[in-house]
Amino acid sequence: MKVGKILILSIFILQPWFLKGLIRPELLLCLFFVLYSVCLKKIAIPLNELLIILFSFIILLIPPLIHDTGELDLVKKFISLLVVIIGSYYIVAALKISKQDLMSAIKFCVCFSLIFYLASTQVELLRNIALSFKGETYGIEDKLEVYRLWFPTSAHTFHLGLFFFLTTSLLLVEKESFIYILMSLACASISARSAMLMSICICLIFVLIKDRKYLFMVIIAIPVFYYAMTILANEYVSVKYALEPLEQLIHSGTLQSKSSDELLQKHLYIPAVNSILFGDGMYSNPDGSFYGHSDSGIIRPILYGGIIFQIGYLVFIYRFLSTLKQFHFLGAVVIISFFIANVKAEIITATPYFTLLVLLFYTTKNTNSSVRV
């Protein structure tokens, strides 16, 4: 039963999409466990979360109605979030998932992801399988950072990096084995440069203020990164690309990179006053590109619904991030890190890190807010 729980949780978290998203395991698992609960007549409703979702759904429809744009992309995104929230609730309830079960699933996800990735670097078939798990890749498979797509999940790059940042943080606060933390740190470093920096920072903070026995981990990590920067970076262009922020920090004292320059030059700007106040009712352009040419989590929601909508957006994020408060100071650091990451790109997406947050939310949540029917 323990193994079954871990496998179900891992598939639900990693969300490998089959046939380019035509078959989505998280949706199938959600439907299965809802029906399972109905058949056992043990169905309950996560009342508070459903009320928040219902209220959010109504708010989402207002901007396109006011501006008569017919925009539905953000509505579709919230439907995906609803699947994750409902699915998480019924999986936790039906299988009686404990925090220990969830931590076991996290360790399995990290180990399996890294092993699969390392194997993919050598076996083209596995790379093709990894690519088949993805939905939209935005042409990355033809770019230098294609290596980021070789994990066994539908998520990639920035959002996958946030997942491994979260797993690194949870493994630290739960004081799991060094090997799992190092593996998670490696996955974070591969999947996104921002996640690499965030994960290194959380490790250093944990070592300095919480538990210095983990200094051993830092002692191991430093020569590994040094080797990667001085030898592998000269031999492999992709390694040099991945470690660009650290290289810049050492040589120039800044964290400047091509992506950070692009963020400041193109994605962060002050919208028109009318857009700030009321939004434009647009989330995506007709060709599917980002409306306003920005995917920043502090610009895109404003362009959609204005400053009031942006405030509601941040409250929604905090609703699930607040479960990290149980980890006190380190939890607060992780919450702040996610809000900082939101400046770079939207973090409300039904990807592995959000799924993990919701599962953690329900494994620790008081069930008094549920109503049995």
pLDDT digits (tens, 9 = 90+) for 31-64: 888 887 777 766 677 777 778 778 888 888 899 9
When pLDDT is cut at 50, 70 and 90, the band that residue 267 belongs to is low
Q: What is the pLDDT of residue 229?
A: 46
Lowest mean pLDDT among 126-140, 216-230, 339-353: 216-230
Nearest residue to 180 (alpha-carbon basis) of 115, 103, 113, 111: 111
Q: What is the pLDDT of residue 43?
A: 63
pTM of the model: 0.86
Structure tokens at 50: 């459903």
Residue 177 predicted with pLDDT over 80: yes
> What proportion of the chain, given as a percentage, has pLDDT over 70?
78
Q: How far is 359 from 249, CA to CA, in rounded Å? A: 36
Residue 98 near residue 174, CB atoms below 8 Å: no
Under 8 Å CB-to-CB from 83, ≥6 apart: which residues? 26, 27, 30, 350
When pLDDT is cut at 50, 70 and 90, the band that residue 166 belongs to is very high
Q: How far is 310 from 337, CA to CA, in rounded Å? A: 18
Residues 357-367 as b/e (b if ≥16 CB within 10 A, e otherwise) read bbbbbbbebee
Q: What is the pLDDT of residue 1?
A: 63
DSSP β-bridge partners for residue 284: 290
Q: What is the pLDDT of residue 245?
A: 60
